[in-house]
Structure 1
Amino acid sequence: MTTSALFTLSGLISDSNSSTSSLYSASSLPPSSSPFHNSTTDFQNQTVCSAEDEALRWPLAVLYSLFFLFGLVGNLFALWVFLFLHASRNSVRVFLINCAVADLVLLAFLPFRVFYHINGNKWVLGSVACKAVGNLFYMNMYISIALLGLISLDRYLRLKGKGKARRGMRIRLCGRSWPWSWVACGVLWGFSLMAVVPMIATAEDKENNNKCFQYKQRNIAKGKAYFNGVLVLMFWLIFFMMVASYARVAAQLLKVSRDKPDLPNAQRYQRTAKKSFFVLFLFTVCFGPYHAFRPVYILSQLSQTISCDYLHLVDRTNEVMLLFSAFNSCLDPVMYFLLSGSVRKTALRTLGDRLGNRLRSLNDVTFNSSTVDYRRSSAPNLEVNRVSNTPRSSICASNTTLRRTDMTTLPPTRQK
């Protein structure tokens, strides 16, 4: 082999190695070699790292479908009980009605997620509809979180208050006295709608009409990342307020039941204390993991250097944690009936009455039909034995007449 041939071969090998190394760097993008300061590198990273995990597509579609079905039935039944069966007008009932409405609105957006995953993670309604669906979903989730926090605060104030505070606080507004629960719910819905409109109107870093619910960088739209951080802080404030409120309520109820065991409601106080801890447990399981991981997710969105593997891990973990939060919409009806004993009794009594009436009607129909069949099968024999010359149209009347004459007109001498 000549010297020129050797130089030519070495040149080809070096060219192939350089192209292979450049392809590897564009596909893997490790943290040390993939900064987003260059527009070309940024485009490559957005192109390669925007791919979603196909393994989660069908599990997410199935689970969100189940959440939608069970949550819709449970919250509609709870709302029906609150509006048409439950007669009391206390503040807890107002909060629970608003919580059921928030859950129903949240559930109304789950079919969009289901269709998105079934359609191969392809969005067909445009970027504005995507932002509207996503932000309204989160808005109602945080409304239900805030309402559960207000319920815990209301229970604590009722326990510690005296006189009018136990019956319910009122706020004077526009020259009229309003229950504080109505004012709190109105303010909560108003501020939520005012906050969600800028989130929908503000542009993302990269508008993509074919994608939705995917991981998004916040290098330009940093205000959205900061707003999500404020929501996380709000959640933890509500969480610790709920822990403190339910702990004080449970401690007070357990103290009363322990110090005065002869009271008629001593055992009831113990059960109420245990239910308070169960409500707090469900709240922690559903929302705790998501908001514990949320700061990691927000920091990754603001980061200028991130690898594709880390991005996929963050996105996959966030999707799994979000499932727990969406699952709360199915468990909220359980919380409603645990928080309000009168609502629980009304619902159980209504279900029992309706089920009992249904079973009773079925039993009556079965009994009557079997009796009629028995009478139809036995009546001809009786008719033939008693009156053989009576026409068919007057058999029943003749039988009744014969029975009455046998009982009333036979003289006692015929029995001898």
Structure 2
Amino acid sequence: MNSSAAWSPTLVNTVVAHISVFSLSATSPPTPPMPISSVVTPDTTSCSLDDAAFHLPLAVVYSLLFLFGLAGNLFALWVFLFVHASRNSVFVFLINCAVADLVLLACLPFRIFYHVMGNRWLLGHVACKLVGNLFYMNMYISIMLLGLISLDRYLRLKGKRRERRGLGLRLCGCGLPWSWVACGALWGLSLVALVPMIATAEDKEDNHKCFQFKRRQLARGKAYFNVVLVILFWFVFLMLAVSYAKIAYRLIKVSRDKPELPNALRYERTAKKSFFVLFLFTLCFVPYHTFRPIYILTQLNATASCDYLRVVDHINEVMLLFSALNSCLDPIMYFLFSGSVRKTALHVLEKRLGNRPLFQNEATSNSSTTEFRRPSVPLALTRTSKQDTTAHHSPPSETQ
């Protein structure tokens, strides 16, 4: 008993010392994991981009755009196809523009449902890519059509209608106008570009997420393709701005140099209306494509912080609303520039209200339906006296 009692303090001290060492080694965190976790790059799989405050506003705004855009474009398409019989080049572009807007609008209910469900996608990643790419495809088709309309009106002003018709004959060999050739090529190329965008895999396929920021570390080809689209947009924007500036300058110049012409006032009004298209184009598409390069660079950046990704994603959502707004404003453009749409709309209002609309006289006297019957630009825009006489009978194109 005495021997064991003598040795017990030493044994106890040894055991306590070993326990202390083991307890320190067990409680101290290992050094390697800390540096590894600190250099992990942000990823959209671990970084939530959802903001519950955005869900309801986005759903409401897209719903309003869908309802107003659907009603306006269906009405315009009905007028173009069943009320008005002429088929000049601008008329063909307007039909295709209305169709592109309707296809884009058909994608909005999917976005509305997605935001109503709290940004949860239930249809799989293939359907997500199909809806998303159809939306962008028709947005860029609308952009190209607005550019083609500006080019057509500029060529019409320069008196090159025969060259455009000859171009159509040479391209098709079957007598199709150049407008149908251009629209067919535009739709065909768009569908060809749509297929690889859907078939190509993303960096991360998530069946429950859609319409959000996506990395492009592996799918770099899609990022480069988006860069090409941005460059194409700015080319079209420059062409549209130059064309309408020259059109407005020529029409205003004629109206002021030749005020005795019966249609001199209409020239100036038509010139001012031309700037509405440029305003619409700028309002809807310029903000989105100004921010687009930043968005693409962020997709290619592997070290962006989670907060930065969230800000970029939210700004892109707001900019995209402006682009979708174009489909809602295009019917206003049809109303201002197409006498057929304007007269039919006012006639419907007359029946609904049971009395004569206040703008009936203006719509009748200032109608641009003669533009469809006489697609050639007024020869008053040149300097010969013979062309001045012709201008009394053929007013400038109002239709856009």
Same fold? TM cut 0.5: yes
Quick one: which of 110, 117, 140 aligns to 1:119?
117
Matching residue's letter, 2:276: F
Aligned partner of 2:87: which letter? R
Q: 2-side partners of 1:94 and 1:190: how far apart?
A: 16
SS in 2 for 1:178: coil
2:93 partner letter: F
1:305 Cα deviation from its structure 2 partner: 1.4
The aligned runs of 1:365-376 (5 Å cut-off) are: none
Code of the residue aligned with 1:350 in structure 2: it is: H
C-alpha separation between the residues in 2 aligned to 1:203 and 1:350?
51
Q: How far apart are the structure 1 equivalents of 2:172 and 2:249? A: 39
1:47 aligned to which of 45, 58, 62 = 45
Q: Is the Cα contact below 8 Å between 1:158 and 1:166 reproduced in 2?
A: no
Match of 1:201 in 2: 199
Give the Cα–Cα distance (whole angstroms) in 2 for the partners of residues 267 and 22 of structure 1.
76
Whether contact under 8 Å (2:203, 2:214) holds in the other structure is yes
Residue 332 of structure 1 corresponds to which residue in structure 2? 330
Partner of 2:343: 346
1:7-406 → structure 2 map (5 Å cutoff): 15=29, 22=34, 34=39, 41=40, 45-161=43-159, 164=162, 170-340=168-338, 342-352=339-349, 354-355=351-352, 358=354
2:155 and 2:288 map into 1 onto residues whose CA distance is 29
Q: Distance in 2 between matches of 1:278 and 1:137?
A: 24
Can you give the 5+ residue segments of structure 1 that lack an aligned partner in the other structure?
A: 27-32, 35-40, 361-416
1:279-302 CA-partner distances (Å, limit 9, x unpaired) = 101110110000000000000101
Structure 1: how far apart are the matches of 2:21 and 2:268?
A: 89
Q: Secondary structure at the match of 2:176?
A: strand
Secondary structure, in 3 states, of the residue corresponding to 2:211?
coil
What amino acid does structure 2 have at the position aligned with 1:139?
M
Q: What letter corresponds to residue 334 of structure 1 in structure 2?
A: I
**1:331 Cα deviation after fit:** 0.2
CA distance in 1, matches of 2:274, 2:192: 33
Q: Distance in 2 between matches of 1:280 and 1:168?
A: 29
Tell me the residue number matched to 1:404.
none
**What's the TM-score once normalised by structure 1's chain length?**
0.75
Shift of 1:338: 2.5
What count of residue pairs does the alignment treat as equivalent?
341
Contact kept in structure 2, 1:158 and 1:165, CA below 8 Å: no
Shift, 1:339, TM fit: 3.1
Secondary structure of the residue aligned to 1:135 is: helix
Residue 147 of structure 1 deviates from its aligned partner by 0.3
Contact 2:168 2:177 in 1 (8 A): yes
Q: Distance in 2 between matches of 1:150 and 1:312?
A: 37
Shift of residue 170, structure 1, vs aligned partner: 3.7
1:220-259 CA-to-partner distances (Å, cap 9, x unmatched) read 0000000011111110000000000000000000000010
Change beyond 3 A, Cα 1:264–1:14: farther
Offset of 1:162 from its aligned partner?
Answer: 5.0
Letter in 1 for 2:319: M
Moved over 4 A (4+): 2-16, 165-169
TM-score relative to the length of structure 2: 0.78
RMSD (Å), alpha carbons: 2.8
Contact 1:75-1:103 within 8 A present in 2 as well: yes
Q: Deviations over 1:338-392 (max 9, x none)?
A: 333x334432453255346x569xxxxxxxxxxxxxxxxxxxxxxxxxxxxxxxx
Q: CA deviation at 1:85?
A: 1.3
2:344 partner amino acid: A
User: What is the letter of the counterpart of residue 155 of structure 1?
Assistant: R
Identity of aligned residues (%): 66
Q: Distance in 2 between matches of 1:102 and 1:206?
A: 30
